[in-house]
Amino acid sequence: MSIGVETNRPVSRWLVVAVLVAGSAMAVQIGAAAPASAGQVGDAGRFDTWTGYDIGRFPVSVVAGNFTGDGAADVAWARHDFFNNTISVQRNLGDGTMSSVTTYPASPSSTDLAAGDVNGDGNPDLVAVSEGVTLNNTTIDLYLGSSTGTFTRTAVVGGYAPQRVVLADLDADTDLDITTSNGWGATFASVLLNSGNGTFAAELQIPVGAGQLGISANDLDGDSRADVAVARYDSATNDPEIVILGAGAGGAFAVKTRLLPPAPDGEQRGNP
Ligand SMILES: [Ca+2]
Ligand SMILES: [Ca+2]
Ligand SMILES: [Ca+2]
Ligand SMILES: [Ca+2]
């Protein structure tokens, strides 16, 4: 759910998730495996253990959430694997260690993962987006959470080779709606409004332009309704652009404005 124009995907095979817990504080660090005597984080001895876990190849996105309702943050991550792709969940055992990994099937080549309660039962759910083997996937995977941190997979039609996903209440009815930035030539971002129970109305296709990547949601104009910012790279002008989506006249969700970030010193906009 980060916003920014990025060009490289993480492809390291052996990344490690290190979860360091002290009281209710938690940090998740992703990086190359480090010897137990090095790379320790924290102060005053609060974080004095470092435990590495194998998270599989091609990890791309990780989220933390209290999936089991015990107050200790658990983790889930998605992988950009075209073959037998899965998302994975590890429960926090409350003593600074994590459970064994539970995996759930996912559409091929996932690109992002988000956590939030989409069906309003109080248990966090997961939403994964994936490009697909042929880079035209239109299935968004939903994983409805239970009170014990297990998930049931379902799906909704939307997006086009989606690159990022964000959950936010876009229509001010208190439930979380889905927005995706889309890839591989798609010129629209996708908005799926929640019916309140984790089912979604037909996709709205918002004309943003191609080259979309980063996405973020917040109330940017103070009207008490969430807006969405989509970062894209315009290959026609060689310029980056931030497209702001939000509720316009009559409440319809649409492009509200387009922002051109300042050019770096000494550079000019447009084609050279
Ligand atoms: Ca937990
Ligand atoms: Ca839920
Ligand atoms: Ca909503
Ligand atoms: Ca707003």
What pLDDT, in 10s, does the model give residues 64-102? 999 999 999 999 999 999 999 999 999 999 987 899 999
- Closest ligand by atom to 256 CA: 4
d(CA 180, CA 64): 20
HSE of 237, CA atoms in CB hemisphere, 13 A:
13
d(CA 218, CA 51): 35
pLDDT at 30 over 50: no
Q: How many secondary structure helices (H) and strands (E) does the chain include?
A: 0, 18
Q: What is the pLDDT of residues 99-153, one digit of tens each?
A: 999 999 999 999 999 999 999 999 999 999 999 999 999 999 999 999 999 999 9
The arithmetic mean of pLDDT across residues 215-226, rounded, is: 91
254 C-alpha to ligand 4 centroid (Å): 12
81 C-alpha to ligand 1 centroid (Å): 27
pLDDT at 270: 63
89 C-alpha to ligand 1 centroid (Å): 11
- Closest ligand by atom to 217 CA: 4
The arithmetic mean of pLDDT across residues 193-211, rounded, is: 95
Cross-strand partners of 255: 245
Q: What is the dihedral of CA 201, 203, 205, 210, to 10 degrees?
A: 150
pLDDT at 28: 40
226 C-alpha to ligand 3 centroid (Å): 9
Contacts 24+ apart (CB under 8 A), 188-193: 188/160, 189/215, 189/228, 189/230, 189/243, 189/245, 190/158, 190/159, 190/160, 190/162, 191/228, 191/245, 191/253, 192/140, 192/156, 192/158, 193/253
Percentage of the residues of the chain whose pLDDT score is greater than 90: 65
Q: Which helix (H) or strand (E) holds 102?
A: strand 102-105
- Closest ligand by atom to 177 CA: 3
**32 or 54, greater pLDDT:** 54
The arithmetic mean of pLDDT across residues 45-71, rounded, is: 85
d(CA 129, CA 255): 22
- Closest ligand by atom to 149 CA: 1
The residue count of the chain comes to 272
Q: How confident is the model at residue 50 (pLDDT cuts 50, 70, 90)?
A: low
Within a 10 A sphere around the Cβ of 195, how many other Cβ atoms?
12
pLDDT at 215 over 70: yes
- Closest ligand by atom to 19 CA: 1
35 C-alpha to ligand 2 centroid (Å): 38
Strands 227-234, 239-247: parallel, antiparallel or unpaired by DSSP? Answer: antiparallel
pLDDT at 35: 43
pLDDT at 226: 93
Distance between first and last Cα of the chain: 32
44 C-alpha to ligand 4 centroid (Å): 42
**For the chain, how long is the longest CA-to-CA vector?**
60
Percentage of the residues of the chain whose pLDDT score is greater than 70: 76
**Closest CA relative to residue 13, chosen from 63, 53, 50, 54:** 54
pLDDT at 266: 61
The arithmetic mean of pLDDT across residues 241-269, rounded, is: 81
99 C-alpha to ligand 3 centroid (Å): 33
Q: Output the six-digit token pair for 247.
A: 């509720």
pLDDT at 204 over 70: yes
205 C-alpha to ligand 4 centroid (Å): 19
**237 or 205, greater pLDDT:** 205
